[in-house]
Amino acid sequence: MVLSCLLYARSHLLPAKAPPTAASAAAAVTEAAAARPQNKSLLPPPPPPPPPHPVASFFNLPPVPALLPAPKSNPEAATIDLSALRGRVILAFNSASQCGFTRDNLRGLSALAQRLGPRGLTVLGFPCDAFGGQEPGGPFEIAAELAKVRGGPELASQYFLLAGKVAAVSGADAHPVFKFLASSSSASASGSSSSSSSSSSSSSNPSSAGSAPTWNFFKYVVGRDGKVVASFGSEYREAEVEAAVVE
Distances 96 to 106, 172, 174 between C-alpha atoms, Å: 10, 21, 16
Which of 82, 85, 99, 149 is catalytic? The answer is: 99
Q: Respond yes or no: is residue 99 known to be catalytic.
A: yes
Closest C-alpha among 217, 229, 115 to residue 169: 217
How many Å apart are CA 98 and CA 133, to the nearest integer? 9
Residues in the chain: 247
Strands 160-162 and 121-127, by their bridges, are parallel
Q: Tell me the sheet residues that pair with 162.
A: 125
Nearest-10 crossing angle of helices 102-116, 139-150: 80
Task: Cite the active site residues.
Answer: 99
